[in-house]
Amino acid sequence: MNYPVKHLKMKNLPMAKVTHDLQLIENRQLNPAYHLLIFKSSVAIPEVFPGQFAELLTPDSAATFLRRPFSIYNADYQLNTIQFIVKIVGNGTKKLCQLSTGAIVNIIYPLGKGFSISEGKSLIVGGGVGIAPMYLLSKWLTTNNREFDILLGGRTEADIINVKEFSEYGELDITTENGKLGQKGLITTHPWLKDPGSVYSRIYTCGPEAMMRAVARIAIASQISCEVSLENTMACGFGVCLCCVVATDKGNLCVCTDGPVFNINNLKGWD
Ligand SMILES: Cc1cc2nc3c(=O)[nH]c(=O)nc-3n(C[C@H](O)[C@H](O)[C@H](O)COP(=O)(O)OP(=O)(O)OC[C@H]3O[C@@H](n4cnc5c(N)ncnc54)[C@H](O)[C@@H]3O)c2cc1C
Ligand code: FES
């Protein structure tokens, strides 16, 4: 699906969120921990920006009555489908990954503010399930003729998913801590992050907070811009419960409405 150039100008305008009952049309197990869930809407899906997320209601579960937030992995406006990569970490994610095709899930989306477009060449750094918002970002940058490279990292090879899909959009490299796939070591030791300022003008990153903080420090040292997608624990997902606040130069802001994507220059304690 092509994203129109108007998206470049529309970044961060408030967008109507919808609450829809969507039908699960595919539940593809990628490996023991990760699933790709594809939902179909009976009506036109709203426009979605890379970095935005959705709140999914786990069906029939008193233990997980709060919705669970997931980055939007992909959206297809012709088929009216929306996709998520879900890593099983607890009850809610387990229940979602156990759903059979045909199941109906109530979903609120699109939520939050996504990534902004970069001017020069950029580097995408996705760690573990932080890979999820990076696919839509890769498509969006490609559609808007931006140059970028993609670096995916994980503890083991099981954390590196959908490599073929990603590599269709940019030059891609991989790190794993156990060395079974790609370069061995932490993602931050990859050569592309040695002196990123000499090649890139922007880093986009999502993953474990410690990884994003390390990437942010590299970006600061290289004097390049860096956007992080925070995954603070959330409940409501639209600015009511205040459980997701983060300290910024504008005071405490909700990650769910003012983020999840922030420029590190605006985050307190990220330098
Ligand atoms: C904006 C946003 C986007 C996200 N995108 C994705 C995504 O695309 N794919 C995906 O698999 N997950 C994503 N997550 C994380 C996902 O929401 C949690 O893994 C999920 O809510 C856990 O639900 P659960 O019932 O399975 O686990 P719970 O039983 O609630 O918790 C199990 C364990 O997971 C930890 N946990 C719960 N929530 C989070 C969280 N937000 N971050 C880190 N650890 C958490 C808990 O501390 C606990 O240790 C995202 C979170 C946010 C805030
Ligand atoms: S999750 Fe409720 S305010 Fe952000």
Does residue 5 have a pLDDT over 60? no
- Give me the percent of the chain exceeding a pLDDT of 70: 94
User: pLDDT per residue over 191-226, tens digit each?
Assistant: 999 999 999 999 999 999 999 999 999 999 999 999
Does residue 29 have a pLDDT over 50? yes
Which pLDDT value is given to residue 11? 45
Which tops the pLDDT comparison, 10 or 212? 212
Does residue 9 have a pLDDT over 50? no
Residues counted in the chain: 271
Ligand nearest to the CA of 232: 1
Rounded distance between C-alpha atoms, residue 51 and residue 132, angstroms = 9
Assigned CATH topology for domain 6-111: Elongation Factor Tu (Ef-tu); domain 3 (2.40.30)
Write the DSSP string, 128-195: GGGGTTHHHHHHHHHHTT--EEEEEEESSGGG---HHHHHTTSEEEEEETTSSSSEES-GGGSGGGTS
Which pLDDT value is given to residue 2? 34
| Ligand 2 binding pocket includes 239 (Cβ within 6 Å) | yes
pLDDT tier for residue 66 given thresholds of 50, 70 and 90: confident
Question: Ligand 1 — pocket residues by CB below 6 A?
Answer: 53, 64, 68-71, 84-87, 89-93, 129, 132, 231-234, 260
Does residue 6 have a pLDDT over 70? no
Ligand 1 pocket check: which of 34, 70, 109, 129 to mutate, most ligand atoms within 8 Å of Cβ? 70
User: pLDDT per residue over 104-158, tens digit each?
Assistant: 999 999 999 999 998 899 999 999 999 999 999 999 999 999 999 999 999 999 9
Does residue 177 have a pLDDT over 80? yes
- 246 near 255, Cβ under 8 Å? yes
pLDDT tier for residue 3 given thresholds of 50, 70 and 90: very low
- The encoded tokens of residue 222 equal 């290289």
Residues 6 or more apart whose CB falls under 8 angstroms from that of 243 comprise: 233, 234, 235, 236
pTM confidence score: 0.92
Which pLDDT value is given to residue 15? 62
Round the average pLDDT of the chain to a whole number and report it: 91
CATH 3.40.50.80, the chain: domain bounds: 122-229
Give the pLDDT mean for 181-195.
Answer: 96
CA 235 to ligand 2: nearest atom: 1
CATH 2.40.30.10, the chain: domain bounds: 6-111
Give the pLDDT mean for 82-105.
Answer: 96
Assigned CATH topology for domain 122-229: Rossmann fold (3.40.50)
| Ligand 2 binding pocket includes 243 (Cβ within 6 Å) | yes
Give the pLDDT mean for 249-259.
Answer: 95
* Of the candidates 87, 94, 97, the residue with the CA atom closest to the CA atom of residue 28: 97
Which pLDDT value is given to residue 60? 73
3 Cα: distance to centroid of ligand 2 (angstroms): 29
